[in-house]
Structure 1
Amino acid sequence: MDEGLRVCVIGDELVAGLGDARGLGWVGRVMARTSTEEPVFVSQLAVPRESTTALSARWETEAHRRFGAHSDNRLVIGLGSTDLDEGLSLARSRLNLANILDGAAASRVGCFVVGPPPRPDVDGDALAQLSHAFGDVCQRRHVPYVETHEPLRTHEQWHADVAAGDGVHPGQAGYGLLAWLVLHNGWHAWLGVPTDAV
């Protein structure tokens, strides 16, 4: 029996939409613009300020509890910049993401990765290198990767929205920008659903 589409979204507090007064975050906005014939079961599995090391250690247990034996299981990975806070090397960050993607592939779970957006309290060049490294890992595995740092690095609305909040996380406008980037970088094609007017 076909159990439909199940999507687990793992990552840090950005996956949970922290700072969004509407409580949607980018995940809720993306799903609101995703039309499917059957309802989609979406689980947001966020842990605040989580590094890729911690993420790689927990994703499988948490996601597989929500996947079905006869469902179309998908994994969305929302990456943040905590690796830089914790001093992880680029090699370690790359390996952590690679382990997640390879483990998912072994379980026939399709992956979609959203890179880390700019943070005013993090070195922009270091974050650009981290995002590039994540993108390279995805490219080598033919996994869709949404670059968010470069498009938003000098985006006035992004920075104004972050500054208007806690100075680290975006609000409604910022999450809208993240959702736009996801929707315009292969989301519908990855899910195999029609593209709405976005």
Structure 2
Amino acid sequence: MSRDLRICFVGDSFVAGAGDETALGWVGRVTASAWHRGVGLTAYNLGVRRDTSADLRRRAEAEVLARLLGAGDAQAVVFSFGANDCTLEDEMPRVPPEVTEENAAALLGWAAARWPVLMVGPPPLAHDAGHDARVAALSDRLGGLCAALDVPFLATHAPLSAGNAWRSAAARGDGVHPDAAGYAALAALVEAWQPWRDLTGG
């Protein structure tokens, strides 16, 4: 193994891999791929179902520090969230887009001052066209923020929307979360992403 790399994956149900019958999700798959490339990656999955950016802002600091503090210099944090912020409650998003952006700036800024940070954008929500449109708009907004903060951002919404694999995988699942094939498609995007390859040893 080339090094002992520890990464916290902070986010929502898509980070947790909800709905994947293989129990791997995309995080488990990219972790396995890193091992196959000779990188001893310890992945801390900090994905919680229904979590918004506001929830993450409340819990991320303590949870990440508990795992990375004093653990050497081969560490990083990967964030992925946004879908739950866009869920309507009483005809309003659970977190308005401008507040999501504030939360993301706080999370990314705090983490990036300490470790390498990446952000994976929210995937499509095939069950609800309105919700999906809000997620697409938020993904663009988060991409712009990451560019301003010099944090690498992987847009997953557009490439996953372009094909049928994610939509079919979600339809086989609960309508929102895909089965293993959907997570494999998302993992393939991450695995092919140059900032991820740079972080995990090429």
Match of 1:158 in 2: 166
User: What is the letter of the counterpart of residue 189 of structure 1?
Assistant: D
Partner of 2:97: 90
Quick one: distance in 1 between partners of 2:39 and 2:20? 28
Equivalent residues of 1:50, 1:82 under 8 A apart: yes
Q: Which residue of 1 aligns with 2:184?
A: 176
Correspondence for 1:128 among 136, 148, 157: 136
Residue type at the aligned position of 1:156:
N
> 2:157 maps to what in 1?
149
Residue deviations 1:94-122 (CA, integer Å, cap 9, x gap):
1111101111122x211111111111225
Q: For 1:17-166, what aligned pairs fall within 5 Å after superposition?
A: 17-35=17-35, 37=38, 39-69=40-70, 70-85=72-87, 87=93, 88-106=95-113, 108-119=114-125, 120-121=127-128, 123=130, 124-166=132-174
Distance change >3 Å, CA 64–CA 12, structure 1 → 2 = same
Contact residue 34 and residue 40 of structure 2 kept, 8 A: no
Conservation of the 8 A alpha-carbon contact between 2:82 and 2:139:
no
The alignment's TM-score, normalised by the length of structure 2, stands at: 0.88
Q: Secondary structure at the match of 1:98?
A: helix
Moved over 3 A (4+): 35-38
CA distance in 1: counterparts of 2:170 and 2:128, whole angstroms: 11
C-alpha offsets along residues 151-190 of structure 1, whole Å, 9 cap, x if unaligned?
1124212111110111110111100110011112221113
Asked if the contact 1:4/1:71 (under 8 Å) is kept, the reply is no
Contact 1:6 1:71 (8 Å CA) reproduced:
no
| Inter-partner Cα distance in structure 2 for 1:152 and 1:105 | 27
Which of 4-13 and 168-177 deviates more? 4-13
Once the two structures are superposed, what CA deviation does each residue of 1:101-152 show, in whole Å capped at 9, x if it has no partner?
A: 111122x211111111111225232211100011111111111111111111
What percent of counterpart residues are identical?
36
Q: Which amino acid aligns with 1:129?
A: A
Are residues 155 and 97 of structure 1, via their aligned partners in 2, closer, same or farther at CA, if it must alter by over 3 Å?
A: same
Aligned length: 190
Following the alignment from structure 1 to structure 2, what is the Cα–Cα distance between the partners of residues 132 and 38? 32
The corresponding residue for 2:7 is 7
Q: Report the TM-score when normalising by structure 1.
A: 0.89
- In the alignment, which of 178, 189, 193 is matched to residue 198 of structure 2? 189
CA distance in 2, matches of 1:75, 1:136: 19
Instruction: Give unmatched runs, 5+ long, in structure 2.
Output: none
Cα RMSD for the two superposed structures: 1.7
Q: Distance in 2 between matches of 1:165 and 1:14?
A: 13
Q: Which runs of 5+ in 1 are unaligned?
A: none
